Every structure is written in C-alpha cells, then in structure tokens.
Amino acid sequence: MCGIIGYTGPDQALPIVLAGLQTLEYRGYDSAGVAIDGHGALAVVKRAGKLANLRAELDQIQLAGTCGLGHTRWATHGEPNDPNSHPHVDAGSSLALVHNGIIENHAELKAELAAAGHTFTSDTDTEVIAHLVGSLHDGDLAAAVRAALPRLTGQFAVAVMDHRDPGTLVAARRNAPLVLGHRDDASLLSSDVAGLIAHTRDVEALLDDQVAVLAPGAVTVTDLDGNPAQGHRYTVDWDIAAAEKGGYEHFMLKEIHEQPAAVRDTLIGRTDAEGRIVLDELRGGPDAAQDLRHVDKVYVVACGTSYHSGMVAKYAIEHWAGIGVEVEIASEFRYRDPILNPHTLVVTISQSGETADTLAAAEHALAQRAKVVAVTNVVGSSLARMADAVLYTRAGPEIAVASTKAFTTQIVALDVLALYLAQERRALFPDECRDHLARMEALPALIEQVLGQEAAIADLAHTFAGADYFMFIGRHVGLPIALEGALKLKEISYLHAEGFPAAEMKHGPIALIGAGGPVVALATRGHVWSKITSNIAEVKARGAVVLAIATEGDTEIKAHADHVVYVPEVLELLYPVLTVVPLQLLSYYIALALGCDVDQPRNLAKTVTVE
C-alpha cells in the first residue's frame, strides 16, 4: 500500500527521502514521487513504475533542499501513471501533498472546487485535498490543514509542505497510520516505522484527527481545534538488521527461516513458575479472572493469511476451551449484524495492525460492547491501540508481502490464548495445559527439522513449476493450511491455485482435475487421516499427481501419494505450524523458477489500509 516519508533537518533531503522510499518499497506500489523545498520554490518529480524510474529521472536534475516529502503510490483512484502519482500540488503550486487512504467524498469536493475555478490534472482523490488545503491557506499551513480535515470523509494519512513556510512539514491522519520521528536536529515522518529506524528510534504514532507540525528538531502536535495534543510516543526496540535481508536472496526466504526464532519469542514469558499461563496483556482489557470466564461466544475476525490463522484457532478454542467460535472475513463481518454483547469475545488478527477492514470490524465490535482482543505483530499499531487488550506475536518486522512468520506466530499466540481460556474456565486440567504448552515449546526445533528439507522441496517445486493449476486439499486443521498454501502460491507465482475442504471435491471441484494436475494434500496423522487418504484416492483415480504432507514414519502414505514431504509428529492441533512450512517453501521456489518478483508481487500491498 502507499508509503509516505518526510524529512526536515540539516542534511540534504533528497537522499534521505529516496532511501526511505526504498525501505517502504515492500508495502507494494506502482508509482513514486518526491517534493523538495529548494529555497523559495517547490520541485516535484514523480514517475509511474518502480523507484528506479524516479531515480533515473532524478539523476538528470539537481534537487537541493533540506526539507522534502516522498511517496510510493498503490493506485486506487486513477491508473498508475505520472500525473496520478504523488505529490500533488494546489492551484498555485505553492504546496505539495502526499496521501495514503481514500477520500470518499472526493467527487463532491472536486465539483465544489471546480465550480470555484480550480482545474485538476489527475484522476486522484488526493489532488482534491491539495486544492482544498491550498484554498484554505491564509498564511498558516497547519491552520489550513486543520480547517480542511473536517471536510474530508474517509481515511487518510497526509503530509504537506509549502514553499512559503520553508523547512516545515505538516501531517495529519484519520484511520491510516502515520508515525513521527524525533531527533535533536531533525524531524521525520513516515507511514511506517521501517521508514524511520535508520534515523531514530524515538517515534510517535499520530492519532486520529491530530495535526503535527515538523520543523528541524521540533515537533508540535495539536487536535483539530489547535489545542496541544500528544500521539503515542515509544521507542522502537528492533534493530535495523531485522528489516534487512541478512544474506538471503529475498525477505520471504529470510522470514521463512526466522520462524523457529519467531515462534520461540512468541512463547517466551507466557508462564509462571508453576507452569500456569500468564497473559498479563489481557488484564488491561477483558480481565482474565472475570470476563473471560463468562465469555459465551468467540468471533475471530481477520483478512487473508491472518484469517487462515483464525481458522486454525477455531479448532483449538473449541477443543480446549469448549467455547463456540465463528471465524469471519473482516470485510464481511462489518457489514452484517453479528449478535454481539459484553459476553462475546472478538479476536481480531492482523500482522500489521493497520488493515482497514479489520480495524473497522474491531470498531464495530467495540461499539456493540463486545470484548476485543487484538493479535498483532506491530507494537503501537492502530488495532493494538483500539482493542481492549493486545497479544503481540513478536515475529519481528515482516517485510515480504507474502506473510510467513506472521502466520506461524499468530497460530502459536492464538493457541496460547486458547489454552489460557481453557485454564481460566477450568476446561482443561492444569497438567493438560502444561503438557500442551510443553509440546508447543518443542515447535521451534521441529520447524528447523522441516526447514532441513528445503533442497528436496526446491526440487519438487521445479517438478511442479510447469503446471498451470494447483489444488490444495485438507480436512480439520489441514483445511486452513490448504487455503493458506493456495493463497501463498497464487500470491507470488501468479499461478491459479485453490484450496478446498477435501471432502467437498466430489461436490464440484473434482471436475477440474485433469491428467497430471498437481494436488497438494494435507495428510498428517490424526482422526481424519483415513478420510483424507480416501479423498486422495478420489483425485488420483482421475489423473491427479498428489504431493502429500504427512507425518514422519507414515510409510502407508506412500501408497496413496506420488510425492511425500514429512513433518515431525506433534499434537494434532499443532500440525499447522509445521505443515505450512513446506508449502511456503514450495511457493517460494515455484515463484523463483517462474522469475516472479517474490517480495513485491504484482498488484499486492503489504498493508491494506483501504477498504
């Protein structure tokens, strides 16, 4: 999704802005631009396509100035071409503005401004904000922004600079992330902490309808009436190396390999000396002893890969804690009338904590007075701030668009939550909880074992890379992994891949099986093993080549499948943490074989901050 970077300080702004944009590339974008205040005049340069196109253009011109803004655009209104790229300028080209999000009433505002004589050069909603702020500017840029915001409907993070106010950046947000960076000699802003950590760890997440004015080494935040305000200020505790590739060819591969450590971190410190689960994080919200005991219904709400981890959690919460769970896509949940009350626990899952649909679902649940727990990876994210309580997944920064370590850590965090619910509600005996936790603590070493088969999985990927249609089938906890395996593959290799409940095949999808089409079957040992092997037989009988993900030591599976990748034996509910790993590697190596852009797949954004 779009990325914003801004700098004002003693150094030349352009190299800092460009480096910041490069850091934000992983969010996904299709054009980029910069604005630099060159002593009395603004220079705006923007180009469709990758950052390299913008850099090539900038190589031809000298842009000097110590205050600047940069933007990577992920097109929503208007195609990804030069005029639609950001920054956009106002009628007199005095100010330049960048924007993330969507202005829902842009058509109405545009008509009003056009009637007043404004002409527009792009199809974007953003240009309307630039003109609106420009029209309200009466010598004070921050005042103009404060006056413009109440006119905007939708979600936005905006940053603006004006050559009449040199060295100053003004920023504001509503339902879209914007983080300020504090330094003694300079001030920065970005849509993402990753854009700031090369310069400072002292950051401040701006809150909704706050306006920040940045000068070198000085930041002032106000509300819309101009009263002093404060964002959420904190220190970033992860290292810049965590956001770099560390010798791997792609972030995705690095993040796949980080899973043992990430899962270990997720589990650290979740128990007391007696081995009881302690989730202090929940005490600020739905109190463990009180509210959680009275929960009579759980909704799990998320998007994409996070939704799949939510599906896995359903099995764990229902089985261990004995509470009914419904799992729903956030964008659907928010537009129906779920029956929620103070005894409903709504678990919202989001790696970024900024996914617009998930935020809206959480808001909807809070409005109905349900208890909202956020399971997220990003400290201080919007979801973390709005929820009653937060369970951090501690996966470290996930840069690749295709989510991997965020997924496995989400499952582990949700399993801990399920056991905690079971413990507090006495649905399991303490020694059962301890035993399950001990088995979870063994997961990092078991993931290492699965990763040890990387070369063999890469070979399989070469075998399959020529196929144009993949099916993934699974039952019970194998089903979410089938869906996740298919999502991962289509996301980064652009191959058609679908996941199905294995028994549903004969109700329609089996018609798609042609001679030789690969079917990946989640076939680990458990109470549905004999069922899935029958489903494998059904597809094989119709010509499918089957790759089974099975339990180590299961020699019988070889009679059913053409290829087998083994994972170590674990508790049935914990298999997803292991079985997804070969599917991540399979997708990675197929995408690599097909020459795809693994870390920044086409059309996709890392953080989906629009509805």
Q: How far is CA 411 from CA 59, 82, 310, 477, in A?
A: 46, 42, 8, 11
Q: How far is CA 7 from CA 34, 201, 545, in A?
A: 11, 15, 55
Structure tokens at 214: 């940045």
Region binding ligand AGP by CB under 6 A among candidate stretches 81-89, 399-407, 413-421, 571-579: 399-407
Q: Which residue is nearest to ligand AGP (CB)?
A: 304
Q: Does 103 bind ligand AGP (CB under 6 A)?
A: no
Shortest approach of ligand AGP to residue 180 CB, angstroms?
22
Q: How far apart are CA 377 and CA 61, in angstroms?
A: 40
Interface with ligand AGP in residues 303-322 (CB under 6 A): 303-306
Shortest approach of ligand AGP to residue 431 CB, angstroms?
34
Kindly write down the DSSP assignment for every residue of 485-540, as one continuous string.
HHHHHHHHH--EEEEEEGGGGGGTGGGG--TT-EEEEEE-SSTTHHHHHHHHHHHH
Region binding ligand AGP by CB under 6 A among candidate stretches 12-20, 191-199, 300-308, 441-449: 300-308
Tell me which of 103, 157, 402, 502 binds ligand AGP, using CB under 6 A. 402
Q: Does 135 bind ligand AGP (CB under 6 A)?
A: no
Q: Which residues contact 539 (CB under 8 A, 6 or more apart)?
A: 471, 473, 505, 510, 513, 519, 521, 546
Residue (121 or 603) nearer to ligand AGP, CB: 603
Degrees to nearest 5, angle at CA 262 with 256 and 263: 105
Region binding ligand AGP by CB under 6 A among candidate stretches 5-13, 16-24, 244-252, 396-404: 396-404
Tell me which of 403, 533, 535, 600 binds ligand AGP, using CB under 6 A. 403
Kindly write down the DSSP assignment for every residue of 38-53, as one continuous string.
-SSSEEEEEEESSHHH
Region binding ligand AGP by CB under 6 A among candidate stretches 50-58, 219-227, 301-309, 507-515: 301-309
Q: How far apart are CA 238 and CA 525, in angstroms?
A: 38
Which residues are known to be catalytic?
Answer: 2, 606
Q: Does 491 bind ligand AGP (CB under 6 A)?
A: yes
Q: How far apart are CA 271 and CA 290, in angstroms?
A: 19
Residue (362 or 418) nearer to ligand AGP, CB: 362
Interface with ligand AGP in residues 358-377 (CB under 6 A): 358
Question: For residues 17, 23, 29 and 31, what is the CA-based torsion angle, rounded to 10 degrees?
Answer: 30
- Length of the chain (residues): 611
Q: Does 191 bind ligand AGP (CB under 6 A)?
A: no
Residue (14 or 313) nearer to ligand AGP, CB: 313
Binding mask 324-353 for ligand AGP (x = CB under 6 A): --------------------------xxx-
Beta bridge partners of 32: 47, 72
Binding site for ligand AGP (CB under 6 A): 303-306, 350-352, 355, 358, 401-403, 491, 607-608
